[in-house]
Amino acid sequence: MSVDNQRLPYDKVVQAVLGRAKRTKSDQVSRNELAIILSELARVLGRQIAGAVVELGCYRGATSLMMAQLMAELAPTKQLYLYDSFAGLPSKTEYDRSALGDDFQPGVLKASKSEVLKAFAHANLPRPTVKKAWFSQLSGDDLPEQICFAYLDGDYYDSIRDSFRVCRGRLAPGATLVVDDYDNASLPGVRRAVDEWRETGLSDIRSFRPVDSLAVIRLMV
């Protein structure tokens, strides 16, 4: 059942979408983290920030589906772009090594593009643009011209660094980035990549907030 946007504030819409999460349960993101991601997305959509929504590291599309449901309620004309190697995790760099992260090995978390598209069709949601590629192979031209919201879930140092690289020139004023695993000791490369990006002298970062394992970065309008 569609949520009446005229009567329900954005937080109520987020809660309504979260209420459906049992149907598309993610084993990669906790319910609280999902609530944060959706709340940040709702804020961007409510402020009518220009641009599309992107996710780099969509895996099987569970979080993507939740974002798409929220977009369908609040901004049905917004476009969703998803990126993944669909080949599982790449090899680690020296920055990714952690005794707590032994379960993260090359090829783990492998999914398929067709699996994601089937999930969207089953949920009767608009078909997203899905590109299969290692993030190191992407250029800015592979992303939409403008981005209002980016969810980065690359797990490793190089993947997050490349995600920032391709997004940087496309981020709209007032855009928000949410980075998964920033505070995850099993994946230390994520924090390093985020902190390096913040230290590059960017003048358009309005706020930076670690919350749970996520990093929420809001840009100035």
What are the residue boundaries of the structural domains of the chain, listed by start? Answer: 10-219
What is the spatial distance between Cα 208 and Cα 60, in angstroms, rounded to a whole number?
A: 28
Looking at the predicted structure, is the pLDDT value of residue 183 above 60?
A: yes
Residues 6+ apart with CB under 8 A from 119: 24, 60, 61, 62, 65
Is residue 8 scored above 80 in pLDDT?
no
Query: 10-219 has which fold?
Result: Rossmann fold (3.40.50)
Each residue's pLDDT tens digit, 56-65:
999 999 999 9
pLDDT tens-digit map of 75-88: 999 999 999 999 99
How would you classify the pairing of strands 80-84 and 52-56? parallel
Share above pLDDT 90 across residues of the chain, in percent, rounded to a whole number: 74
Task: Give residue-wise pLDDT tens across range 82-125.
Answer: 999 999 988 898 999 887 766 777 767 789 999 999 999 999 99
Average pLDDT over residues 205-213: 95
